[in-house]
Structure 1
Amino acid sequence: MTTTHDIASEDAPVVELKATGKSYGNIRALHGVDLQVHPGKVTCVLGDNGAGKSTLIKIISG
């Protein structure tokens, strides 16, 4: 039986973004975003309206 522990280190992120950016024409929605999501940890994305939270989640989810 293979477990997650056998496949990857517990410290390894399951999602990692480095210097991620997104523009809509001349509007820069994201610039230089770094994010790591680790297993067993709660990760929260928060910010003001228009900060790019939804854009970031759409990039992560494909």
Structure 2
Amino acid sequence: MNATQIRGEVRYHVAYAGYVAAVLDTEQKRTGVTVLVVVPLGYAELSVVSSRGGARRAEVMPA
């Protein structure tokens, strides 16, 4: 194989992710990906809800 046969380019990489992927089984990987998606989304939702509550309290409070 020579260099002209290779297609694509590396945009980013996660160090040692391949080692972790090799150790985990399919169910553990699925659970890990689910956690990595749900936790940030839950945090974002909590931030939005708490910021709306603060805005409402400021409107109700007399000046």
TM-score tier, shorter chain, comes to: under 0.3
Structure 2 length normalisation: TM-score?
A: 0.22
Between 1 and 2, higher relative CO (CA 8 Å, sep ≥ 6) is seen in 1
When you count helix as a share of all residues, which structure comes out higher? 2
